[in-house]
A and B are shown apart, each in its own frame.
Chain A
């Protein structure tokens, strides 16, 4: 059979190669399938412990205030929870629709839910699907509530200048997000009981819009 092949003019040889590639393609079907994938376990286990994978609520709150919109903040909770209150600049994507979402593999993605478990599971799914930059918002919504919107600060009358600065900053940040600094100074449990229900952030005005991608037409 190879002799027949070698005897054909080069054009026909290439044509046959093309047809063979086409037939194999039919069996492959859809190369970027989104249902199965191969995971590089070694790589994943080495990066899993890294701190690059997490973002603290303080960092995030700073970014939002500065208007730095180079990330995509993903809220993994239910839509009802999302509508009730969500971190400004976030988008609601449920775990099951993660692979079908319009999140791109080259974007910086930050995940959060009520706690870290759901977020970690989503982290794994995205990393396995080839996303390059996925981080988790440490302690999720809990941390956001307790440290940004309704932070507490144990700074009494005789605090140092540093502490005072910290106190003022926390108050400002809290105000930006429609919350308030808790000045009860009480124990943690009493503070938790007094947390008012979070409303949707009407007062928060985001500084900049997402950067428009450069024109790629012809």
Chain B
């Protein structure tokens, strides 16, 4: 059978309200298994795990250096992402991984017909509300990710697999924080 048919064969529809019908998303346990294998491959080949927030930090550091160079001097945080000035700060493992992620995500979406220029939001939310909250949420995420030295991909997945104390503590904190605050933004999602 064709690739499309193979994927549909392995999916099961999640029974939800009309709008949130996940159009043929694969069983989460199978996804977890595949993700676990990719993660394991990363460990075996590279001796490190995945990551994501590092690229954003590099972008910000390079941007701040161009616009407000005074801020960057002597600031160990930015300097860490700018490197020693010898090589391009973007020439690192994470940058290439992120590029791959974007393309991989696009291909998957294309195969399943999920690629659409749209704004994700719940039935009761307006676009303006959603975009404002997206920005606020993103800012908190950026700040929190740097404070914790990672995001869910890096700290939780990598640290979790290696049974790092910080990774597990971080994971618990993320879930705790999200659940605690979910009530206050229920208008946006449900």
B29 contacts which chain A residues (CB < 8 A)? 11, 14
Docked Cα-Cα span, A11 to B155, in Å, equals 27
CA distance A214 to B86 in the complex (A): 13
Q: Determine if A217 and B92 form an interchain contact, defined as CB atoms under 8 angstroms apart.
A: no
Q: In B16-75, which residues have CB < 8 Å from any A CB?
A: 29, 48-54
Name the A residues within 8 Å of B153 (CB-CB). Answer: 218
Partner of B149, one of A11, A14, A214, A217: A217
Which residues of A185-218 are within 8 A (CB) of B?
214-218
Closest-CB distance, A209 to chain B (whole angstroms): 12
In the complex, are the beta carbons of A215 and B150 less than 8 A apart?
no
CA distance A216 to B43 in the complex (A): 12
List of A residues within 8 angstroms of B83 by Cβ: 215
Identity of the chain A residue whose Cβ is nearest the Cβ of B89 in the assembled complex: A215
Cα of A61 to Cα of B54 in the assembled complex, Å? 40
Contacts of B48 in A (CB 8 A): 216
A217 to B77, CA, bound (A): 13
State whether A218 touches B92 (Cβ < 8 A).
no
- Chain B residues with CB under 8 Å of A217's CB are 51, 54, 149-150, 154
| Neighbouring A residues of B94 by C-beta, 8 Å | 218
Q: A218 contacts B150, CB within 8 Å?
A: yes
Cα distance, A217 to B49, chains bound together (Å): 9
Measured between beta carbons, the chain B residues less than 8 angstroms from A214 are: 92
The count of residues in chain A whose C-beta lies closer than 8 Å to any C-beta of chain B is 7
Are the C-beta atoms of B53 and A218 separated by less than 8 Å? yes
**A215 to B92 alpha-carbon distance, docked (Å):** 9
Task: Give the shortest distance, in Å, between A52 (CB) and chain B (any CB).
Answer: 24
How many angstroms between the C-alpha atoms of A128 and B80 in the bound complex?
38
1/0 per position for B94-113, CB-CB distance to A under 8 A? 10000000000000000000
Measured CB to CB, the nearest residue on chain B to A212 is B84
Please indicate the chain A residues that have their CB under 8 angstroms from the CB of B54 in the complex: 215, 217-218
On chain A, the residues within 8 Å of B150 by CB distance are 217-218
B146-164, CB < 8 A from A: 149-151, 153-155, 158
* Cross-chain contact A218 with B80 (CB below 8 angstroms): no
Q: Distance in Å from the Cβ of A57 to the closest Cβ of chain B?
A: 33
Bound-state CA distance A216–B48 (Å) is: 7
Partner of B50, one of A11, A215, A218: A218
A205, B118: Cα distance in complex, Å: 63
Return A214 CB to nearest CB of chain B, in Å.
Answer: 8
- Chain A residue at minimal CB-CB distance from B94: A218
CA distance A14 to B52 in the complex (A): 30
Neighbouring B residues of A11 by C-beta, 8 Å? 29
Chain B residues, Cβ within 8 Å of A14: 29
Chain A residue with the shortest CB-CB distance to B54: A218
Contacts of B151 in A (CB 8 A): 218
Q: How far is the CA of A216 from the CA of B80 in the complex (A)?
A: 11
What are the residues of chain B within 8 A of A218 when measuring CB–CB?
Answer: 49-54, 94, 149-151, 153-155, 158
Measured between beta carbons, the chain A residues less than 8 angstroms from B50 are: 218
Residues of B within 8 A of A215 (CB): 54, 80, 83, 92
Shortest beta-carbon distance from B60 to chain A in Å: 15
A126 CA to B63 CA, complexed, in Å: 47
Whole-angstrom distance between the Cβ of A84 and the nearest chain B Cβ: 37
**What are the 7 closest A-B residue pairs judged by CB atoms, nearest first?**
A218-B154, A218-B51, A218-B150, A216-B48, A218-B54, A217-B54, A218-B53
Further 14 A-B residue pairs, CB within 8 A, beyond A215-B54, A218-B94, A218-B153? A11-B29, A215-B80, A217-B149, A217-B150, A217-B154, A218-B49, A218-B50, A218-B51, A218-B52, A218-B53, A218-B54, A218-B149, A218-B151, A218-B158
A-B contact pairs, 22 of them (CB 8 A): A11-B29, A14-B29, A214-B92, A215-B54, A215-B83, A215-B92, A216-B48, A217-B51, A217-B54, A217-B149, A218-B49, A218-B50, A218-B51, A218-B52, A218-B53, A218-B54, A218-B94, A218-B149, A218-B150, A218-B151, A218-B155, A218-B158
